[in-house]
Amino acid sequence: MSFISDLFSGGANTLVNSVGKVLDNVITTKEEKLQLENEIRKSEMQYQLDLKKLSNEEQQMILGDISSARQREVQVQTSEQATKLAKNISPLLALGTVIITLALFYVLIFSPSTVVGDSKDIVMYILGVLSAVLTQIYSYYFGSSAGSVAKSKTIADMKGI
């Protein structure tokens, strides 16, 4: 397991160096050593390039999924056959989650005595989940700067390939 985790976590350099040391004992001429080193470096660069391509493909899939969800939302909002509930369910759920989260924070800050004993752990767990959902809601409606930076970097990388 260590070999595989080393290989995929940047251990390729260690692996290449180890192979190089073994081959130093087998190869005798200077030209053979230089040729082998060049081949190893080419293989290492190809590995890094392939890894980068896979990362770009993964990012493209994520961005495609986000784009598809946004297109679906636009189609629902512009459809004449969509009911008022279908058009408003996402904002209503988001608003309800925001209200519940803020109300729970209010209770914990201004009236902590109402939450006692074992129920406090449960409330804290629920608040953690609601906080994560709240972050996703804000990212959806207002955008995510981290996502924007990653998207810009991916587009720049794709143009460079």
Of the pLDDT bands very low, low, confident and very high (cuts 50, 70, 90), residue 1 is: very low
Task: Write the pLDDT tens digit of every residue in 19-36.
Answer: 666 666 666 678 877 888
Please say if the pLDDT value at position 49 is more than 80: yes
Task: Write the pLDDT tens digit of every residue in 54-64.
Answer: 999 999 998 88
% of the chain surpassing 70 pLDDT = 75
CA distances from 14 to 1, 27, 98, 147 (A): 15, 20, 50, 33
* CA 3 – CA 5 distance, rounded (Å): 6
State the average pLDDT over residues 84-107. Answer: 91
Nearest to 103 by CA among 119, 117, 114: 114
**Contact in structure between 91 and 61 (CB atoms under 8 Å):** no
What mean pLDDT is reported for the chain?
81
Helix ranges (DSSP H) in 27-83: 30-78
Task: Write the pLDDT tens digit of every residue in 97-114.
Answer: 999 999 988 988 898 888
The type of residue at 141 is: Y
* CA 148 – CA 144 distance, rounded (Å): 6
Of the pLDDT bands very low, low, confident and very high (cuts 50, 70, 90), residue 5 is: low
